[in-house]
Chain A
Amino acid sequence: MFTLLNLTNMITTGIAVLGFIAISAMFLIWWERKVSAHIQTRLGPMRVGWHGILQSVADAIKLLLKEDIRPAGADKLVWWLAPFFVVVPSVMAFATIPFGKTLIPKDLNIGVLYILAVSSVCVLGVFMAGWGSNNKYSLLGGIRAAAQIISYEVPLILSMITVVMYANTLSMQKIVESQSHSWNILHPNLALAGLIYITSATAEVNRAPFDIPEAESELVAGFHTEYSGMKFAMFFIGEYTNLFIISAIATTLFFGGWKGPLLPGVIWFLIKTYSIIYILMWIRWTFPRLRVDQLMGFAWKFLTPISFLNLAIAGWLLL
């Protein structure tokens, strides 16, 4: 039987998540432009609203009105579906992100695995975009993205497993509970895992210094070179939603989630998450881009062995 409560719950949760994603993505785009501008001693967007805060809204309207151009040799269906494969998984990943004590769409008992599984589908969209565009820059961007995501997924998962071993659970909410006394990042073993996580997560979302899949100087814009209008906007929303998700996972796994004194949980959660995003932006606009071989070498010859070692030490300590 349907009841009023579960139906309204489902609908309001869906609307809340979608609304949050849209607002958060627009805010992050504006913020990234401001941060990058100030790092480069510029002002960034200043004209639309206070310090250009409405710039993203203006951009969104512009992108909505733009012509949707499809390259002549494109693989129609694949090209058309690609943006959805990038955005839908990132929306689905929100299902197990704990914003507060009761503010979680669904606390699955396999929460960590669920997020990993759902966000691993995103790479299919990148492939489809790269391949369907019938453009060599897009194809190269797609191949690079694939190589990078496969490589960095290994240390990423290994570092998350270390946290799971200490917390003895896969549920996001229980991992937060396990940090009631002190944050995981303060534990030496887990601090290393946290560092590995942040590094490989940066690579997973293709941000500098790991942004070779969309290296502007070599590949124009990588896999989304040929996209325009709203489809391009969807790739952008996907990218910034993924940025939010990896930071939210970092908050949950290493920085005590929504726990904190005085302020309500959701405020703490957002403060922590956006601080991590700020650090990632700072890194992006400070470090130069790595070469392809350096990037691969770093993942396989440094991060992966170290995260295996860390996992082994965690196992030894726990036994």
Chain B
Amino acid sequence: MSGLIHLLNSHGLTEDTIIKATFYGIAGLTVLFAFFVVIARNIFHSALSLAVVLIGVACAYLYLDTEFLATVQVLVYVGAIMTLFIFTIMLTADVHKKMSLKINPRVLLSAYAAALILIILIKIINAGPWLPEVKDAVPLDLAQLGRSLMTNYGLPFEVISLLSLAALVGAIVIGKTEKK
């Protein structure tokens, strides 16, 4: 064991370098799976790739020392939203058919919209400093987070829940079958 430790330390391999090295691997995988979400020929594969992407984003939060955000990301997106996605996919007919790459008939229009978004994103990213000065991460005080959600950010919080409620009611209205 001590030989291994000596070897690791003598090559300058500290925990910090390992954290950096794994970051690029995970970030690369996240982007790769994001690509799979779009190009997968099968909708179930797309959904699974999306789940991997969301886990990858949670890992990115971990690298930023925000464990709480990472946990909530996995709990809400992978645990709840992806489960619902996949559940819905399983209920659709012909899920086992190998679907071919769907070419959208409005492919030009979509490309135009995508290009516009890209330009906007580039403008926004260029507006601020690239790689801003990183301050040492402050450990997140959960009590304070909860308090500010209930006081300072009370109104946006409630508006979001109202929005979810509206979506819920909408889903029920769409899903309701007329009795005849």
User: What residues of chain A have their CB less than 8 Å away from a CB belonging to chain B?
Assistant: 1-4, 7-8, 73, 75, 78, 108-110, 113-114, 116-118, 120-121, 123-124, 127-128, 130-131, 134, 139, 142-143, 146-147, 149-150, 153, 170
A residues less than 8 Å from B15 (CB atoms)? 1-2
Contact B78 A121 (CB under 8 A): yes
Contact B45 A78 (CB under 8 A): yes
Known A1-B14, A78-B48: A109·B79 in contact at CB below 8 Å: no
Contact A120 B74 (CB under 8 A): yes
Across the interface, name the chain B residue whose C-beta is closest to A122.
B79
- Show 23 A/B contacts (Cβ-Cβ < 8 Å), sorted by A: A1-B14, A1-B15, A2-B5, A2-B14, A3-B5, A4-B5, A7-B1, A7-B4, A75-B44, A108-B67, A109-B142, A113-B71, A116-B79, A117-B74, A117-B75, A120-B83, A123-B79, A124-B51, A128-B48, A139-B90, A143-B90, A150-B83, A170-B142
Contact B142 A150 (CB under 8 A): no
Across the interface, name the chain A residue whose C-beta is closest to B95.
A131
Across the interface, name the chain B residue whose C-beta is closest to A171.
B142
Range class of the B interface residue count: 20 to 34
Contact A117 B72 (CB under 8 A): yes
A residues less than 8 Å from B78 (CB atoms)? 117, 120-121, 124
A residues less than 8 Å from B82 (CB atoms)? 124
Q: Is the interface of B mostly helix, strand, loop or mixed?
A: helix
Q: Is B171 an interface residue (CB 8 A)?
A: no
CA distance A113 to B79 in the complex (A): 12
Q: A120-B78, A170-B142 are in contact. List 11 more A-B contacts (CB 8 A).
A: A110-B67, A120-B79, A120-B80, A121-B74, A124-B51, A131-B95, A134-B96, A139-B90, A146-B87, A150-B80, A150-B83
B45 → chain A, closest Cβ, in Å?
7
Q: Is B26 an interface residue (CB 8 A)?
A: no
A residues less than 8 Å from B44 (CB atoms)? 75, 78, 131
CA distance A3 to B5 in the complex (A): 7
B96 → chain A, closest Cβ, in Å?
7
A167 → chain B, closest Cβ, in Å?
13
B60 → chain A, closest Cβ, in Å?
15
CA distance A3 to B9 in the complex (A): 9
Q: Find A150's partner among B1, B55, B84, B96 (CB 8 Å cutoff).
A: B84
Q: Find A8's partner among B1, B48, B68 (CB 8 Å cutoff).
A: B1
Across the interface, name the chain A residue whose C-beta is closest to B96.
A134
Across the interface, name the chain B residue whose C-beta is closest to A111.
B71
B residues less than 8 Å from A116 (CB atoms)? 75, 79
Contact B90 A149 (CB under 8 A): no
Q: Is B2 an interface residue (CB 8 A)?
A: yes
Contact B90 A120 (CB under 8 A): no
Contact B71 A110 (CB under 8 A): yes
CA distance A1 to B90 in the complex (A): 49
Q: Is B103 an interface residue (CB 8 A)?
A: no
